[in-house]
Amino acid sequence: MFNAAFNFAQFWDGRAADLADQAKGPPTNPLEMGSNSWDEIVARFEMDEDFKKEFLKEYPQITKETLTHAIGEYEKTLITPNSDFDRYLKGDQTALNAQQLRGYELFKQNKCDTCHTGVSLGGQSYEYMGLYGDYFKDRGTPLTEADEGRFAQTKDPYDMHRFKVPTLRNIALTAPYFHDASASDLKEAVRVMLKYQSNVQQPKQQDIDDISSFLESLTGEFNGEKLK
């Protein structure tokens, strides 16, 4: 959930409009928190007198809507500033090493910043997976509902295989990559993106290494400590 507050929608297919909307799903998802219903969840909180006392200082009552709003407000605090790249943008010319600077230039040359833009370097648009080449055919596994992307919500053929662009903040720590978890490490993810999104069909290993090194500079801090 780090930096999710900067996304214009939540989940790969954008099925949640905001953080409060996103928070409605996990509590009753059998693979996550597994509660039977929101009525059951509300009843549990109603029995916790200490929680109820504090919660009712901020909200008129305990409901699905007020609980998910509160969760969304908390999630807005989960941001990770002060990455090496942040320091570089603020004028610290020593924040990035030579390889990371080369990677940053390659990142721009290959127009990665066209989609990975904004405060969170992503999360601001839906884009097609496989602008150059058939990513899904080359992947070699059957299509699933998750591969539909935004189409699953809109049923507009234009949105087939379009996904919310993910944030690149802390990307070095969040493997595996893509909506299908098909890339197990960062360098493989960079190679795939160069091929299918930037039309670099045979990217040089040095370029992959340099871009990956730049992406490692996007790891930020939480509560004053570097994420690991």
- pLDDT for 14-33, tens place per residue? 999 999 999 999 999 999 99
Active-site annotation holds for 49: no
Mean pLDDT of 186-190: 99
Query: pTM of the prediction?
Result: 0.93
Contact 75, 5 (CB under 8 A): yes
Buried b (16+ CB within 10 A) or exposed e, 127-158: bbbbeeeebbeebeeeeeeebbbbbbebeeee
- Which domains can be identified in the chain, with CATH numbers? 4-77 (1.10.760.10), 84-226 (1.10.760.10)
Which of 115, 128, 112, 124 is closest to 163 using CA atoms? Answer: 128
- What tens digit of pLDDT does each residue of 210-228 get? 999 999 999 999 999 999 9
Alpha-carbon span 179 to 41, nearest angstrom: 30
Predicted confidence band at 123 (pLDDT cuts at 50, 70, 90)? Answer: very high
d(C-alpha 162, C-alpha 7), whole Å: 16
- Express each pLDDT in 47-60 by its tens digit: 999 999 999 999 99
Active-site position among 32, 54, 58, 105? 32
CB 97: neighbour CB atoms within 10 A? 13
CA-CA distance, 19 to 1, in Å (whole number)? Answer: 9
User: Angle 186-197/205-216 helices, nearest 10 degrees?
Assistant: 120
- C-alpha gyration radius of the chain: 20
SS3 53: helix
Nearby residues of 37 by Cβ (< 8 Å), 6 or more positions away:
28
CB half-sphere exposure, 226, CA atoms < 13 A: 10
- Residue 81 to residue 220: CA distance in whole angstroms: 5
What is the DSSP pairing of strand 221-222 with strand 162-164? unpaired
Two structure tokens written together for 54? 């504090």
Percent of the chain with pLDDT over 90: 99
The single-letter code of the amino acid at 195 is K
- Residues forming a β-bridge with 226: 221
User: Which residue, 61, 70, 103, is CA-closest to 190?
Assistant: 103
- To which residue do tokens 């992307």 refer? 149
Predicted confidence (pLDDT) per residue in 140-173, tens digit: 999 999 999 999 999 999 999 999 999 999 999 9
> Which of 22, 20, 28, 25 minimizes the C-alpha distance to 44?
28
